[in-house]
């Protein structure tokens, strides 16, 4: 029995042992495999863990925007442009997005932000932009004081031609998508290829923002629109100069929206039309303003302060923006554009001095927000003082307006000729 048992055991041992051994090894291998798989999942987090995209920030206005996106590590990424609507697309490895919904609120130049998984292993962020734009930079930077990386993208409103040129450039090499270039795309060309000179006329104020009020109750927003329409008509059916109006109706328009319209129209010249008021009722006459970091005098400073208030009339908070203005102004002053603005202002004053009463020292300068388009020569004309009875009556007089417009149109045509003659 025992022996049998033993024998049985012994006799049955080999086959049993081999069967048991087989299943043992099978189980062991299975366990090992499982362990390897589990280990594998933990050993390869860099490859399999989705990229953590944990913060989104946006600053700027309708003219330019800086977008910052935070990552837990350096991602492999690509960016490119799409049209219809105008978009900046950023392709990323599979990512888990944890954005604050408030930070994604559309504002300024950006009209919508979307993101999500594209397909296995790939995610995408899409910035929808209010009209054509140019990419000044897209950089991936290592955070200095915290772990992780951040993408910094600067976009600026630009003409449709500039956007199309950038699209063509990204399509040019064999690859369909452009690998993020370190230097970013070239800047908006100051002048488009065709010969037509684009004049953007900006009737000041509008809608809820009536602007200054005349002694007899005239509203600045009405005077500026009437004058702007008449100035536009001066170029009607004449070749060489095409006119774009920032508004052609009684509607409110933010100052940065006016600049955006000018840039996206590919403006060669921007003329903002206003009619000021001043405490001293005896003061009258027209003034031509250009932009400067420091106001040329107290009158200019006061005028810029008044005009810059236009946005807050409609409840737009301009405080954050004002902090950036100083830097932007310094940058503007360095550009060639500023020389063109000053040149045009002087020529405009020469023409107007024959037909229109000007104030003493009619060319002045200050930090007008509406003159901030970096590549568009820009002036702001205060046609006169609504606080002065005679000026107010003149502004409402069709004959006076016709004479003023003749002079302005002459200066604009000369400027257009110079620009075109210089070949841009
Ligand atoms: Zn005004």
Q: How far is residue 261's CA from residue 225's CA, in Å, rounded to a whole number?
A: 16
pLDDT at 46 over 90: no
Q: How far is the CA of 419 from the centre of ligand 1 (A)?
A: 28
Q: How far is the CA of 382 from the centre of ligand 1 (A)?
A: 7
Locate 110 and state its tokens.
């950006």
- φ and ψ at 333, to 5 degrees? -65, -25
What pLDDT was estimated at residue 317?
59
- Which is higher by pLDDT, 390 or 4? 390
Q: How far is the CA of 322 from the centre of ligand 1 (A)?
A: 18
Q: How far is residue 84's CA from residue 78's CA, in Å, rounded to a whole number?
A: 20
What pLDDT was estimated at residue 193?
53
Site of tokens 């996206």: 264
Helices (H), 124-251: 160-171, 220-233
| Structural contact between residues 371 and 290, judged by C-beta atoms closer than 8 angstroms | yes
Q: Beta-carbon neighbour count of residue 208 at 10 Å? A: 13
Distance, C-alpha 398 to centroid of its chain: 38
What pLDDT was estimated at residue 278?
86
Locate 287 and state its tokens.
């003034």
Q: How far is the CA of 68 from the centre of ligand 1 (A)?
A: 35
What pLDDT was estimated at residue 28?
64
Mean pLDDT (the chain, rounded) = 83
Q: Is the dihedral of CA 17, 20, 22, 25 positive or negative?
A: negative
What pLDDT was estimated at residue 48?
67
Q: In what order do the strands lie in the sheet with 286-291?
A: 241-245, 197-203, 269-276, 378-385, 286-291, 358-366
pLDDT at 300 over 90: yes
Domains in the chain with CATH codes: 48-171 (2.60.40.3500), 197-421 (3.40.630.40)
| Structural contact between residues 341 and 411, judged by C-beta atoms closer than 8 angstroms | no
With residue 408 as reference, give the H or E element that holds it. helix 398-421
Locate 256 and state its tokens.
């940065």
What pLDDT was estimated at residue 310?
84
Q: How far is the CA of 319 from the centre of ligand 1 (A)?
A: 20
Q: How far is the CA of 325 from the centre of ligand 1 (A)?
A: 19
95-97 and 87-93 strand pairing: unpaired
Q: How far is the CA of 259 from the centre of ligand 1 (A)?
A: 15
Q: What tens digit of pLDDT does each residue of 226-283 get? A: 999 999 999 998 889 999 999 999 999 999 999 999 999 999 999 999 999 888 888 8
Q: How far is the CA of 168 from the centre of ligand 1 (A)?
A: 40
What pLDDT was estimated at residue 336?
78
Helices (H), 281-368: 298-308, 310-313, 319-334, 336-352
SS3 of 117, please?
strand
**Local structure of residue 145 (DSSP, 8 states):** S
Q: How far is residue 130's CA from residue 119's CA, in Å, rounded to a whole number?
A: 27
Q: How far is the CA of 209 from the centre of ligand 1 (A)?
A: 10
Locate 92 and state its tokens.
């990323």
Q: Beta-carbon neighbour count of residue 63 at 10 Å? A: 25
Q: How confident is the model at residue 31 (pLDDT cuts 50, 70, 90)?
A: low
Q: How far is the CA of 246 from the centre of ligand 1 (A)?
A: 14
């Amino acid at each position: 029995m025992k022996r049998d048992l033993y024998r049985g055991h012994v006799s049955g041992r080999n086959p049993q042992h081999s069967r048991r051994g087989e299943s043992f090894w099978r189980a062991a291998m299975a366990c090992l495999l499982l362990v390897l798989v589990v280990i594998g999942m933990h050993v390869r987090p860099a490859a399999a863990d989705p990229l953590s995209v944990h913060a989104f920030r946006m600053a700027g206005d309708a003219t330019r925007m800086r977008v910052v996106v935070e990552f837990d590590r350096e991602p492999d990424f690509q960016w490119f442009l799409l049209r219809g609507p105008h978009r900046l697309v950023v392709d990323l490895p599979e990512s888990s997005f944890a954005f604050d919904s408030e930070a994604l609120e559309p504002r300024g130049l950006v009209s919508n932000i979307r993101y999500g998984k594209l397909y296995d292993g790939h995610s995408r962020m899409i910035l929808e932009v209010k009209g054509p734009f140019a990419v000044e930079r897209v950089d991936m930077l290592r955070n200095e004081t915290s772990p992780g990386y951040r993408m910094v993208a600067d976009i600026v409103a630009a003409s449709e031609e500039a956007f199309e040129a950038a699209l063509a450039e990204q399509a040019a090499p064999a690859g369909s998508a452009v690998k993020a270039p370190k230097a970013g795309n070239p800047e908006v060309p100051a002048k488009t290829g065709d010969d037509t000179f684009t004049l953007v006329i900006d009737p000041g104020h509008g809608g809820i923002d009536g602007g200054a009020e005349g002694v007899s109750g005239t509203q600045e927003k009405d005077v500026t629109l009437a004058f702007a329409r008449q100035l536009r008509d001066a170029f009607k059916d004449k070749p060489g100069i095409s006119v774009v109006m920032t508004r052609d109706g009684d509607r409110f328009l933010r100052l940065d929206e006016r600049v955006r319209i000018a840039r996206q129209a590919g403006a060669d010249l921007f003329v903002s039309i206003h009619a000021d008021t001043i405490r001293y009722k005896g003061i009258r006459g027209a003034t031509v303003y250009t932009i400067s970091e420091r106001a040329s005098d107290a009158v200019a400073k006061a005028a810029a302060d008044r005009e810059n208030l236009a946005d807050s009339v409609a409840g737009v908070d301009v405080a954050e923006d004002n902090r950036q203005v100083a830097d932007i102004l310094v940058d503007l002053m360095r550009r060639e554009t500023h020389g063109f603005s000053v040149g045009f202002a002087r020529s405009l004053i020469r023409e107007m001095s024959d037909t229109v009463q000007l104030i003493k020292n009619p060319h002045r300068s200050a930090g007008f927000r509406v003159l901030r388009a970096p590549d568009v020569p820009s002036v702001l004309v205060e046609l006169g003082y609504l606080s002065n009875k005679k000026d107010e009556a003149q502004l409402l007089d069709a004959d006076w307006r016709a004479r003023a417009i003749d002079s302005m149109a002459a200066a604009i045509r000369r400027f257009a000729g110079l620009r075109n003659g210089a070949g841009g």
